Structure 1
């Protein structure tokens, strides 16, 4: 099959795939409905302070797997739903930031700088339209870069990297994530090594269970979804319960009034395009690097926009350019974050973690260089799924252009939900999702253990993302090491035989040393909030 034939096969897998139901004799594609449902849920969750895309993806994944099963037909609907949630949450996070000065997501913190002042001036509608236009523009640009770069990068990796080089590349990615995510590279390294250590329990290619302490509970290994949800979600819930107990107050928010014309004219959109274009490029470049979140992209985009701005209203006083620069930057991260996922099999952020978990749980699609094998003799089903995923992402963008702004305007009420009501619901949903996936009561012991671990990591300001990524990549790392060791004929120094492996190892060491240097100035509060998350 040619490249165009693979692209067409991916499109048809979505639009002509399994139908959810028929309307006037026409089958409605299931994947399309799942993308729509995920997108709406993402906007609503992003507009609710305390919720975010990763939490919604975490809770949805086990429920989706139990509903659709593990057949190949379930792959695109499940991935489409998760993609819709990821994109919708990025857009929805701007709603409470603009209306109530309460960011729904960490990367929307900088949106409050100009969004809330505009709302107080009676321009809440214009501010929301600006955020939507900038967000969907940056997201679309980032997706186009993903569609272009991921296949070429994967082909290069498959052509020039052997087993030893791939093992060194995984080490480089872990070192980069550990060094970048968190205020201290040493704490990031501790989290990564802890994730690798726990992932080895009960697993491996040996005839006996490793580190199981002779118990049947540990001999089958740690359930991956339970460990990820426990550290990321349940640990955060425990930490939020403590914060709520300490504050013991109920925040009262008021809906700002609107005055004048709230529409965003074409001339105003053209005026915003330079700010959107600059921030989209920045967000895409930042998002393509594993472990760097959208908050840093939003900060860099906002700073660049401030240097470009020459209008009568300064940044921070309520100017649409500030909203556009921030929203375009943090939204363009979502597509670029999938570049290392699809081309290298390395998750770059929390959202990408759940896409990999879905692919591994269902089977038939292994993100990495092998996906983009353009074979002509026989069909590569993984490549068809990859182009089907690209199609689902473009459908989510189209839905965002058409109905995203209207859904955003209707979600302002979600910011009124008090945490005293929200957190118990979140806890019960998470525990239900974990049980639905495993259907074994012993899984709750693992869940509570990892919840305490996640809580302790937050109290000690140890980042959780390096732990999760290391836990997921542990199996791939061990496989790469075993294969490289076998190919080298049992040479214990196989990692140092290839010049490219030496380069990867040297860069890993350099990244750790570079980010271990003391910083001259305190980090931006928005960045620090995400690094400690």
Structure 2
């Protein structure tokens, strides 16, 4: 029996991708089915990410059962299926910036912050340049995150998990909510209101009680509100309603609808890259760190990356540079680098601990469990001298991620430039199509008309939130994290023997709670200080 070393595992993983089952031959060169599936998944991810309301998660949910039925349950199916899902995950993160920049409607929740500077740039005739900045920043952050994943996967997740027990995880989630409520929108009171509405909505019809909570006897509410309907309604449909109102107001005031036209230099120069590189590097570190924490997600990373970049920009900007929120290229770079750098780091807890870091990672675990032969967890990274086939698969997945990044630099850039032509389509024609696609994708996922009505209801809520300058992002974060906070809090309460002070008995959890209170206190006091 031949001993297998670390370099041998890496080489076997690479060969598993490039010398796997052949899809076709091009000029005498065999192209493996895994390479083809990664490329196809990346293109599909960019397209669905660019369509508001679709997104990579929906594409992965629809694709997974189809892929398994095509490839079967053999070990040869693992890398093609998971490579396709990784391609969709990476592509949708890049593509989500397209509608955020062009139409002020984020294709994914974590692209919401991109609208703050991307859409003003598009309105000023810099749509193509904004898309290029978004693409460069997104792929740079993603590449950095993948490097950290490959180097640190066996160590970083285990280190994080050893310091975060149930009380610490609950406190960290509470800190995340308080930070977002305090930072986003500039008003802590409005942020808390938005976050509170999200928590209220997520707890309708859910919980461990025998009777549904807050359902008022309604069968539709008793099953809870679908997360897709709530998020799409508040972010996408609310933004569509707001944009339609803006178009109507333009027609009343000027008798015609303004169409943004490209003006000035649309190329991305080395001077532009040097200008945004510090923001990319800072946000990539933030996103990678957050991505390594199970269940926190890219929306939080985008928010913190944007807020950190905003503070840095305020101290270092030139007088002629635009502020964040007024078309600053640095705002796009900070957001896109942060949310994209989460994708690689999110696989650290997936591969090392079997814990999904975000919704997209759930489908990778489902694929592994459905096909068999690969069980994400600490045993994956057992570097035994006897061949460990799961470690070969792990390095094969690393190879598909590197391949997806290389394709993203090339194919992704071309597709982003092509999708930039959408800015020339009049909004009065495009927005109804976007609304139809959004509702169709929602119905495909939920297969229920009640989800459509929920989406419209939350769309109206999102519209009024925008009218009153209340950011919908804390609502989305509260809705997404609310169930997880309750679950971890219940588990921590039970694990500590029903101790009501379980959040204060752990020094780290107590520190997180103190930080949460401090963030809110400072933010609520800030307006008073400004008046003096």
Q: Same fold (TM over 0.5)?
A: yes
**1:177 and 1:291 in contact (8 A); partners too:** no
- Counterpart in the other structure of 1:465: 473
Report what 1:106 is aligned to.
116
Q: Is the 8 A contact 1:373 1:380 kept in 2?
A: no
Deviation at 1:225, TM superposition (A): 1.4
* SS of equivalent to 1:442: helix
Q: How many residues align?
A: 472
CA contact 2:102–2:118 (8 Å) conserved in 1: no
Q: Displacement, 1:233? A: 1.2
Cα deviation, 1:175-215, whole Å, max 9, x if unaligned, reads: 11221122211222222222222222222233332232233
Deviation digits for residues 384-407 of structure 1 (CA, Å, limit 9, x no counterpart) = 998777655533431233344444
Preserved contact between residue 182 and residue 463 of structure 1 (Cα < 8 Å): yes
Q: Which of residues 214, 224, 228 in structure 2 aligns to 1:225?
A: 228
Instruction: Please report how far the alpha carbon of residue 431 of structure 1 lies from its aligned counterpart in structure 2 after TM superposition.
Output: 0.7
Deviation by residue 1:143-177 (Cα, 9 ceiling, x = unmatched): 53566567655323311222222211111111112
1:77 equivalent to 2:84? Answer: yes
Distance 2:122 2:444 in 1: 38
Note the 1:52-91 alignment, pairs <5 A. 55=52, 57-58=54-55, 61-62=57-58, 64-69=60-65, 77-90=84-97
In structure 2, the residue matched to 1:497 is 505
Q: Distance in 1 between matches of 2:366 and 2:376?
A: 17
Structure 2: distance between partners of 1:385 and 1:462: 46
Confirm whether residue 41 of structure 1 aligns to residue 51 of structure 2: no
Greater CA drift, 378-387 or 174-183:
378-387
Rounded to whole Å, the distance in 1 between the matches of 2:320 and 2:98 is 21
- CA shift for structure 1 position 509: 0.3
CA contact (8 A) 1:279 1:328 kept: yes
State which of 445, 450, 454 in structure 1 corresponds to 2:458: 450
How far does residue 359 in structure 1 lie from its aligned partner after superposition?
A: 6.7
Partners of 2:103 and 2:246 in 1: how far apart?
A: 20
Report the alpha carbon displacement of residue 331 of structure 1 after superposing the two structures with TM.
Answer: 3.9
Tell me what 1:157 maps to.
160
Give the distance between the partners of 1:201 and 1:323, measured in 2 at CA.
39
8 Å CA contact 1:180–1:291 kept in 2: the answer is: no
> How much has 1:284 moved relative to structure 2?
2.5
Q: Please tell me whether the aligned partners of residues 130 and 324 of structure 1 are also in contact (alpha carbons under 8 angstroms).
A: yes
Q: Please state if 1:215 is matched with 2:221.
A: no
> What's 1:48 paired with?
none
In the other structure, the counterpart of 2:341 is 336
1:474 pairs with 2:482: yes
Is contact 2:124-2:260 (8 Å) kept?
A: no
Instruction: Tell me whether 32-41 or 155-164 shows the greater mean CA deviation.
Output: 32-41
Matched ranges for 1:184-333 at <5 A: 184-248=187-251, 249-254=256-261, 269=270, 275=275, 277-285=277-285, 287=287, 290=300, 292-293=302-303, 295-296=306-307, 299=310, 328-333=333-338
Kept in 2, the 8 Å contact 1:188–1:466? The answer is yes
Task: Choose from 483, 507, 514 the match for 1:506.
Answer: 514
Q: What CA deviation, in whole Å up to 9, does each residue of 1:395-436 have, x standing for no partner?
A: 343123334444454445321111101110011001101111
Q: Deviation at 1:80?
A: 2.6
- Which SS does the other structure have where 1:69 is aligned? helix
5+ long unaligned stretches in structure 1? 46-50, 98-102, 308-313, 346-351, 523-533
SS at match of 2:449: coil
| Partners of 2:13 and 2:159 in 1: CA distance | 22
Q: TM-score, normalised by structure 1?
A: 0.70
Match of residue 515, structure 1, among 510, 523, 530: 523
Q: Which is further off, 370-379 or 224-233?
A: 370-379
**1:275 CA drift (Å):** 4.1
Q: Corresponding residue for 1:373?
A: 378
Cα deviation, 1:88-141, whole Å, max 9, x if unaligned, reads 4558988999xxxxx99434368679995xx9xxxx99x998886676545534
Aligned 8 A contact 1:35 1:80 in 2: yes
- Cα distance change of structure 1 residues 155 and 233 upon mapping to structure 2, 3 Å threshold: same
Question: For structure 2, which runs of at least 5 residues remain unmatched after alignment?
Answer: 105-112, 291-299, 351-356
